[in-house]
Amino acid sequence: MTENEKTIEALLTAVQSNTLSVESAVEQLEHYKDIGFAKVDLHRKQRQGFPEVIYGEGKSAHQIANIIQALLSNSERVLVTRIDQDKANYVLTQYPQLEYHETAKILSTPIDSIPKSRYKAAIICAGTSDLPIAEEAALTAQVMGTEVERFYDVGVSGIHRLFDHIETIRKCKVSVVAAGMEGALSSVISGLVAHPIYAVPTSIGYGANLNGVTTLLAMINSCAPGTSVLNIDNGFGGGYNAAMLIHMLEQEQQTEESL
């Protein structure tokens, strides 16, 4: 039985036993909440394992706050990406229980309040300039309940820095690698570990880097197997995919332990 089916069964049982009104059950079964300018998806967690994520760019602070209200009314975790400090300050005046992460430009449910997975994801970046994208990946995974280990500024121009951490990276179940310039770091790591790699090209680099296009093409053309490439600067996508993989491993482990 899927999580969605379990939820529906629980609601119907509660209605049958008169512990829940029909009106309340209908409200909980609502697929989305129409707040005028947005239709907030309330069943995404049941379908995909995690609630709707708010993309902050292009939305006003007032719009973001209203979407957050709809999510919180449904007892969901909050993850807002690409939100600047000014918008975050406005939202925090209304929802001070949330926390802002300046480097990643993420507003979220407090990380320390979220249970962590037993398996870990490695979040790796080539240089300090790649930190915003790497942190977007790391915090996305953490909000989704994934334990992460960070390995920053270990690019190929000083490859010995990576080798100092490679045994710890190998113990993780998945790696997200953020790199700009020629994007070589993801290929190097893919050739050294036995788990999937999510490569995130960043727009960091001089003119011929073409704002990340060169990095993107280099990562796509890697000869090292086991690498999947995200869009330019898409740290969120890297972190989300890594968390989904960890979540599947956790579910499989729980199923085995229950047998």
- CATH number of the domain to which 97 belongs: 3.30.110
Q: What is the pLDDT of residue 4?
A: 56
Give the residue from 112, 147, 172 where a domain finishes: 112
Rounding to the nearest 10 degrees, give the CA dihedral for residues 182, 246, 119, 174.
-20
Structure letter (DSSP) for residue 228:
E
**With contact defined as beta carbons under 8 Å apart, do 81 and 144 qualify?**
no
Q: What is the pLDDT of residue 49?
A: 78
Q: Over 90: is that where the pLDDT of 93 sits?
A: yes
Mean pLDDT check: name the lowest of 27-31, 59-63, 104-108, 147-151. 27-31
Report, as an integer, the average pLDDT of 151-172. 94
Q: Over 70: is that where the pLDDT of 71 sits?
A: yes
Residue 26 pLDDT class (50, 70, 90 cuts) = low
Answer yes or no: do 108 and 156 share one domain.
no
Answer yes or no: do 156 and 243 share one domain.
yes
CA 228 from chain centre, in angstroms, equals: 16
Q: Average pLDDT, whole number, for the chain? A: 90
Compare 165 and 18 and report the one with higher pLDDT: 165
* pLDDT more than 90, % of the chain: 69
Compare 42 and 186 and report the one with higher pLDDT: 186
Answer yes or no: do 90 and 123 share one domain.
no
Q: Which domain holds residue 86?
A: 15-112
Residue 29 pLDDT class (50, 70, 90 cuts) = low
Q: Over 80: is that where the pLDDT of 34 sits?
A: no
Q: Over 70: is that where the pLDDT of 255 sits?
A: yes
- Please name the residue ranges forming H helices in 74-130: 85-94
Report, as an integer, the average pLDDT of 121-125. 97
Answer yes or no: do 135 and 229 share one domain.
yes
d(CA 123, CA 175): 6
Q: Over 70: is that where the pLDDT of 190 sits?
A: yes
Q: Over 80: is that where the pLDDT of 8 sits?
A: no
Answer yes or no: do 120 and 226 share one domain.
yes
- For the domain that residue 205 is a member of, what is the CATH number? 3.40.50.1970
Please report whether residue 10 resides in a domain.
no
Report pLDDT digits (tens) over 209-235: 999 999 999 999 998 889 999 999 999
Q: What is the pLDDT of residue 30?
A: 63
**With contact defined as beta carbons under 8 Å apart, do 98 and 72 qualify?**
no
Please report whether residue 9 resides in a domain.
no
Q: What is the pLDDT of residue 154?
A: 93
Give the residue from 87, 112, 137 where a domain finishes: 112
